Amino acid sequence: MLNYKAPLRDIRFVLHELVEASKTWESMKSDWDVGEDMVDAILEEGAKFAENEVAPLNQSGDKEGCQFNSGEVTTPKGFKEAYKKYIEGGWPSMPAPEEVGGQGLPKLINIVMSEILGSANWSWYMYPGLSHGAIHTLMKHGTPEQQEVYLTKLVSGEWTGTMCLTEAHCGSDLGILKTKASPNADGSYNITGTKIFISAGEHDLADNIVHIVIARIDGAPAGTKGISLFIVPKFLPNADGSIGEKNGVACGSIEHKMGIKASATCVMNFDNAKGFLVGTENKGMSSMFTFMNSARIGTAIQGVCHAEGSFQGALAYAKDRIAMRSLSGVKAPEREADPIIVHPDIRRMLLTQKAFAEGGRALCYYLGLQNDIASTSTNEQERQEADDLLAFLTPIAKAFLTEVGLESANHGMQVFGGHGYISEWGMEQHVRDARISTIYEGTTGIQSLDLLGRKVLMSQGEMLRKFTKRVHVFCKGHIDTENMQEFVEPLSKLNREWIDVTTKIGMSALQNRDEVGAASVDYLMYSGYITMGFLWAKAAEVAYAKLEAGTDEEDFYKAKIQTAQFYFKRILPRTQSHKLCLEGGADVLMSMDVDHFSF
């Protein structure tokens, strides 16, 4: 059985030494009381809650699952009690503004807590996790009246939020949705339709559930140009904010799933349910992207969670399990065989997990800091640059980190050998739970099209160049630093190649637009490896500086450098296989006649 421990030392390394978050926060908002000591205190308490209250429910919740009975969902034993303690601890309110009952803390701190809680028990964290997207959406697009009614309860955690997009006949192609919105005389709308795959659409943890729903108003244009966004609460609030009558929304069933079994994935039926327009009619998709981008960052964190959790389990097992002797000589003469961690292939898998967990953490926190800058900085140029970086990096983080998170979960299971296939160890649960992450909130393919098509080619490479410029400045700054050459030389070469590869795809796409779709996934993975390489090079830079200055944590910093070296020697070369694949073009994919796909 796994015993999750929050990796606080590495979390502090990324926050305080790599991205230097507190310095950035202080420069933007002097009254933010978020020094390193305060942040550490928050995270230490969060780690205790995750380890003692949430993590013990992970395997039991997976085994028990959710129960559905006549439209009501019962969560596994202990979930409701843990959620009550979560509210009592004030954890839901950290990133929300003080004027709506929040603590006004930087969003990055909430991202760190999302990682800690998600690693402890991803199914449990999905219930409060989507509320942050609902809060952000209503903060940005809701009316003052809507904010007054809903935000305080969502911020406190008394109510939870959902995102209702998908329908049975349309997944990512939301332009063909059928859910209707008919206007009422009082300014509300009657919402009618069915949504599927709604995470936490029904449960017994909170008093009310606020559904954020997309629908088409009667007579609206076809396609995405006719989509509007609505608040549809499970219970209609009374004038004093208390819970009123039941709305016309009900859970029709819950899905039986491969993983995240303790998280209710619901079919939601809206039968003339009263809804309230958010933002402007027919502009719902742009408003919904506020929620979707928040959810995509949250899903990127899931990749880190499963890489970290699986690594912790695999590492402990590899140190204890004995099998055969090391080919380079006996390592544990007092035992009848050597621990499997001495074998190169086990090291390969463990180091891959470690590189992806720590590198993914760096990417998510780097992204979170850009989010804080974009939403808080008073410098317009700084805010715009951060917003562009956020837009560019979000699809990379969501797709790349979930793909390598799944790879890491598979490695963890493999380290255990046959025991990994047995449920009591918890490793196969990581594989099952991680598998959905590459699908929901936009599949890897959808994220790849967003990156290459919308963010890179539609901006004529401008968003890409803004990031590659940062990489170039970093590499140039270490052109004469001897111990950094093994990092900056390959990184600098790839940074230049990235622009060339992008230009070639753009030129090919002018002749055949299918070239974008054919290249997109390999392009995103190629981009992801370079992006993570940049962050690992920066981590090595910090570690070398600490060692040269003198430290009583030599082992930690040496391990950081050694992991960076592993990444550059054994992981970063994957870029070349992706480059060759994307250069293979669309013809080999599209030339076969549909009828020839036979069996």
465/332 same-domain check: no
pLDDT higher than 90, residue 425:
yes
368/501 same-domain check: no
445/476 same-domain check: no
Give CA–CA dist 473/470, Å, rounded.
Answer: 5
551-557: which pairs have CB atoms within 8 A and are 24 or more residues apart? 556/9, 556/13
Cβ neighbours around 1 below 10 Å, total: 9
Average pLDDT over residues 566-584: 98
Give every CB contact of residue 327 below 8 A, 6+ residues apart in sequence: none
Closest CA to 231 of 172, 278, 168: 278
- The residue out of 426, 450, 474 marking a domain boundary is 450
355/333 same-domain check: yes
pLDDT digits (tens, 9 = 90+) for 380-397: 999 999 999 999 999 999
Average pLDDT over residues 206-224: 96
529/548 same-domain check: yes
Give every CB contact of residue 92 below 8 A, 6+ residues apart in sequence: 86, 128, 131, 155, 156, 157
Which pLDDT value is given to residue 196?
97
Q: Pull the structure tokens for residue 371.
A: 């989010």
Give CA–CA dist 135/126, Å, rounded.
Answer: 15
300/383 same-domain check: yes
Residue 509 lies in a domain: yes
Which pLDDT value is given to residue 409?
98
> How sure is the predictor about 1, in pLDDT bands with cuts at 50, 70 and 90?
low
pLDDT higher than 70, residue 120:
yes
pLDDT higher than 90, residue 288:
no
pLDDT digits (tens, 9 = 90+) for 429-464: 999 999 999 999 999 999 999 999 999 999 999 999
Angstrom distances, CA of residue 196 to CA of 39, 264, 464, 555:
39, 11, 35, 49
Residue 279 lies in a domain: no
- Write the DSSP symbol of residue 238: P
- The residue out of 397, 425, 450 marking a domain boundary is 450
Average pLDDT over residues 8-24: 97
Residue 526 lies in a domain: yes
Catalytic choice (17, 202, 403, 441): 441
Q: Pull the structure tokens for residue 533.
A: 């390489």
Residue 319 lies in a domain: yes
Contact by Cβ (8 Å): 263, 62 = no
Contact by Cβ (8 Å): 386, 289 = no
Residue 84 lies in a domain: no
pLDDT higher than 80, residue 294:
no
- Write the DSSP symbol of residue 244: E
Q: Pull the structure tokens for residue 96.
A: 């929300």
Average pLDDT over residues 321-333: 96
What is the pTM assigned to this prediction?
0.97
296/445 same-domain check: yes
424/479 same-domain check: no
Which pLDDT value is given to residue 301?
97
Which pLDDT value is given to residue 264?
98
E strands, 200-264, are: 208-217, 228-233, 235-237, 243-246, 249-254
> How sure is the predictor about 32, in pLDDT bands with cuts at 50, 70 and 90?
confident
pLDDT digits (tens, 9 = 90+) for 467-508: 999 999 999 999 999 999 999 999 999 999 999 999 999 999
Q: Which residues partner with 267 through β-bridges?
A: 253
Which pLDDT value is given to residue 173?
85
Closest CA to 164 of 130, 136, 140: 130
440/415 same-domain check: yes
402/532 same-domain check: no
Residue 572 lies in a domain: yes
321/445 same-domain check: yes
Angstrom distances, CA of residue 415 to CA of 323, 343, 428, 476, 568:
12, 11, 11, 40, 22
317/425 same-domain check: yes
Tell me the CATH number at 380.
1.20.140.10
Average pLDDT over residues 552-564: 98
> How sure is the predictor about 30, in pLDDT bands with cuts at 50, 70 and 90?
low
Q: Which residues partner with 217 through β-bridges?
A: 181
Give CA–CA dist 365/349, Å, rounded.
Answer: 24
What mean pLDDT, rounded, does the chain reach?
Answer: 96
Give CA–CA dist 463/454, Å, rounded.
Answer: 10
Domain count, the chain: 2
> How sure is the predictor about 33, in pLDDT bands with cuts at 50, 70 and 90?
confident
Which structural domain range is residue 456 located in?
452-587
Q: What is the dihedral of CA 232, 236, 239, 243, to 10 degrees?
A: -130
pLDDT digits (tens, 9 = 90+) for 224-282: 999 999 999 999 999 888 999 999 999 999 999 999 999 999 999 999 999 999 999 99
> How sure is the predictor about 155, in pLDDT bands with cuts at 50, 70 and 90?
very high
Average pLDDT over residues 572-577: 98
E strands, 1-118, are: 67-69, 72-74
Residue 105 lies in a domain: no
Closest CA to 300 of 395, 200, 391, 390: 395
Which pLDDT value is given to residue 599?
86
pLDDT higher than 80, residue 31:
no
pLDDT higher than 90, residue 405:
yes
Burial class (CB in 10 A: 0-12, 13-18, 19+), 385: middle
Q: Is position 441 annotated as part of the catalytic site?
A: yes
Q: Pull the structure tokens for residue 364.
A: 């998510």
- The residue out of 418, 450, 482 marking a domain boundary is 450
pLDDT higher than 90, residue 188:
yes
Residue 438 lies in a domain: yes
Concatenated DSSP letters of 527-558: HHHHHHHHHHHHHHHHHHHHHHH--S-HHHHH
